[in-house]
Structure 1
């Protein structure tokens, strides 16, 4: 596929702006061709106007027809082959092996949502024909055009055709995507695949648009556009909070589903340290350094009680960190923020550097760092809980069980929390478990947090500041819930009802009829 550096306004390419930028290879610092044209305010406006017109048609497409679109997108992404992987690797520094796996996840979640909407029960159809009142029927229906922001750290699975796109299109929404400026070529290739799928499946022009740009103005224009009905975002706290604040200031506020990062605390309980300390040490180092620490589930805090086993564990972790080599970080900006974050951490009272790894000589090295602090100093300093995006972790040495509980009670919202222990540990630390249930979206027992499975039960979300809405998930089939609202039909004649609500159930879906679940 030949790259043009242009935007997609519906099925039409556009390059009306005068501001251009280029991708940079983070490993070498090399500028990559072509130059990309930043979208203008008029182009953003055109994209949403097309999305609104397309929505009037697309929302009425059956689940089967929308599934055909999702499956066609997956097919077209696969057709891009090695060209996509090579370009993406040059723009991100991620290995081709990693990206092949990420592409598999991307097409897999598109096809998974296709299965969900083909089956159809996700609409939660409810019918009440009680004689005490009027005939009332309800179901979930699409919100309207959705603005989606691609993420830097998952250039395929959380970007142009990622989970937000898959779930919004599955729900019946049309979308306008803001391509991530760190990998614009990758975005253009995937955007082209989506556009082709839209045309091949006969979906209306405007079902998908994609705008490029490095400035905040493009993103602000998307959030503030009066036709936008929701926003999906994965990125920094600063970026997500700015979009959220802009959305709440609108004459018509709209939901912003922003996943904004997390330090994903781990609690290593005495039984685990005694039985598997060496295995835990190696596993922790691998988890921290996976993807050069640029996963949103990277374990950035590790708490444990002081003991002989804990000190032996810390020593083993230190030895592994000293042997670990740096990887190439996604962008020079991310690498700079990582270095600044480490420097600020090391300036805090009681924080000490335990070990660091080796530089790999790339233009944007992410050198592994292991730090330590006492629970007393951690509890006295809220800053120590903030995410440092990269391959580092802060271990917290606690005095006893109540110190661990105090650490948990003092936490803000996170995506995950992990407990490593025995079944007896779980019984003895049941108070800790109860506290953590209120702090995170996913509670893990005896497993590292890095890696998020895409399935029907997954929750990738959590209380603020991990996300802007703790009721939502950005991974798994429950993600479709973000882009719908319940609509009730009262007293309607049968022929005017959606198929999901008709008496003879022509779609054969599961429903709640007069309080009884049907299959």
Structure 2
């Protein structure tokens, strides 16, 4: 595919209307061709207007048609795997093989949503039949299904150029729900974004759908983001990134004349608690294993286990030694963007200014934007006294916390803000302590992991990638897994309708063969 750098607005390829940019290879510091177009408010309006025009027809596609469209996107992503991985590697400095795997996982994500759509369970079809003879008053027939919200704006993320980007889980789940998508591509990987965007654009055309089902825009600064959030036809927004960026969008959306939901995935340190019996039995194994997982993607993963907590006692020295030894083996690698690298450097320095002691360091950087792996240590008292020590350092840094006992472990657990995940390592003698810790963690996270690590995460029906603020702006939803579709749906009840006017999922004959809740009983198709 020859990259053109144009915006993809509906079926059109649109040249720059507000300037251009070129991609940057952070490993070599070389500028990469071609030039990529920036759009402005007029481009946003065109894209969102097309999405709104597409909504009625697309949201009423049947399960088979919509699922086939999602499968077609998956096919096109797989067909572009080599080219996409090469370009993503060029724009990030990360290995080609990593992006080949990311492409396949993303295609699989679309196929899982295709299966979900065919099953139709996301509609939550519910029927309360009429009871004309009920006393003291009759009941009319009530039927409910979930419907799509409307056009959705998705902000692509910087750290996963495929699975959290143009063809990522937000796009897959929004399209599965029946919502047209306007995608704001991240400027850190414009070429990889265009390859994905054109794959989806082609799938829209081949499926015979309205061109407004998908558009891709790009811009500089806050202007285009504000225009997207402010547009009166937009019905929801998703964002993956910093707390500051996510909350700016969230507050802006709430100030609209008609506020809309903004589903953010922002910040998390994913604390790992090692209970005493597990520490004594497996301290070295846990310490080394955690570092290996934490350094994935040069520590630039939202699920990085960033803070390791254990009571000083049998096994602590082994855990500490294994972790620091593993950190010291890690080669410095290029971070995703110069800005992320600079922020990492500042935040690592902040840890030291707040009293953290550096106890391990990886190999020295050889290039300007290499991230050096670092390990710090503090006491439980320090962590409790200094909130900044509990904040995310996005990059390859880990903080080890030496606790005085179980009481302090529980106190520290209560001090954490909302998290995407929390992990505990426990053996059978730790179960009493675990029972005390679990209610604390349940209030602070959407996923609790036992005797494993917070990363990687399975994409499945039982997945939760979300948690209380500031991990997300709405802890009731997940941004990964099949449950992510719930963000883009709302219930509608049809009361007293003749059968011929009902949506197919609610008709008496159940023509789509769906599982339905009828008068409180789950019924087979």
Distance 1:9 1:176 in 2: 9
TM score, norm. by length of structure 2: 0.97
**Pick from 419, 427, 431: which aligns with 2:436?**
431
Residue-by-residue CA offset, 1:163-187 (whole Å, 9 max, x unaligned): 0000000000001000010000000
Q: CA deviation at 1:312?
A: 2.5
1:365 and 2:370 aligned: yes
Corresponding position of 1:496: 501
Distance 1:130 1:423 in 2: 54
Alignment of 1:478-489 (within 5 A): 478-489=483-494
Moved more, 307-316 or 167-176: 307-316
Q: CA deviation at 1:328?
A: 1.4
Q: Which runs of 5+ in 2 are unaligned?
A: 132-137
Distance 1:94 1:251 in 2: 43
Aligned residues, how many?
518
**Pick from 292, 317, 320: which aligns with 2:323?**
317
Corresponding position of 2:261: 255
**8 Å contact 1:130–1:514 — kept in the other structure?**
no
Corresponding position of 1:2: 2
Provide the secondary structure at the position in 2 that maps to 1:232. strand
Corresponding position of 1:241: 247
Distance 1:478 1:423 in 2: 32
Provide the secondary structure at the position in 2 that maps to 1:45. helix
Q: CA deviation at 1:214?
A: 2.9
Moved more, 195-204 or 17-26: 17-26
Corresponding position of 1:340: 346
**8 Å contact 2:105–2:163 — kept in the other structure?**
yes
Alignment of 1:81-96 (within 5 A): 81-96=81-96
Find runs of 4+ consecutive structure 1 residues off by over 6 angstroms: none
Corresponding position of 1:397: 402
Provide the secondary structure at the position in 2 that maps to 1:222. helix
**8 Å contact 2:375–2:397 — kept in the other structure?**
yes
Corresponding position of 1:214: 220
**8 Å contact 2:284–2:322 — kept in the other structure?**
yes
**Pick from 404, 413, 421: which aligns with 1:416?**
421
Alignment of 1:91-106 (within 5 A): 91-106=91-106
Provide the secondary structure at the position in 2 that maps to 1:413. coil
**Pick from 341, 353, 361: which aligns with 1:356?**
361
RMSD between aligned residues:
1.0
Moved more, 303-312 or 117-126: 303-312
**Pick from 149, 152, 155: which aligns with 2:161?**
155
**Pick from 319, 328, 331: which aligns with 2:334?**
328
Distance 1:37 1:462 in 2: 36
Corresponding position of 1:20: 20
**8 Å contact 2:425–2:450 — kept in the other structure?**
yes
Distance 1:315 1:381 in 2: 25
**8 Å contact 2:426–2:434 — kept in the other structure?**
no
**Pick from 379, 389, 413: which aligns with 1:384?**
389
**Pick from 252, 265, 270: which aligns with 2:276?**
270
Residue-by-residue CA offset, 1:217-251 (whole Å, 9 max, x unaligned): 11111111100000111111111111101100110
Provide the secondary structure at the position in 2 that maps to 1:415. coil
Distance 1:225 1:424 in 2: 57
Distance 1:362 1:204 in 2: 47
Corresponding position of 1:477: 482
Q: CA deviation at 1:360?
A: 4.3
**8 Å contact 2:154–2:239 — kept in the other structure?**
yes
Moved more, 305-314 or 194-203: 305-314
Distance 1:516 1:308 in 2: 54
Corresponding position of 1:167: 173
Distance 1:307 1:121 in 2: 50
Q: CA deviation at 1:277?
A: 1.5
Provide the secondary structure at the position in 2 that maps to 1:55. helix
Q: CA deviation at 1:368?
A: 0.5
Distance 1:343 1:183 in 2: 28
Distance 1:401 1:204 in 2: 59
1:292 and 2:323 aligned: no
Q: CA deviation at 1:16?
A: 4.2
Q: Which runs of 5+ in 1 are unaligned?
A: none
Q: CA deviation at 1:430?
A: 1.2
Distance 2:81 2:276 in 1: 48
**8 Å contact 1:175–1:208 — kept in the other structure?**
yes
Residue-by-residue CA offset, 1:477-504 (whole Å, 9 max, x unaligned): 0000000000010111100100110111
Corresponding position of 2:135: none
Provide the secondary structure at the position in 2 that maps to 1:147. strand
1:73 and 2:79 aligned: no
Distance 1:2 1:387 in 2: 39
**8 Å contact 2:380–2:404 — kept in the other structure?**
yes
Q: CA deviation at 1:68?
A: 1.0
Provide the secondary structure at the position in 1 that maps to 2:420. strand
Distance 1:92 1:219 in 2: 23
Corresponding position of 2:33: 33
**8 Å contact 1:28–1:363 — kept in the other structure?**
no
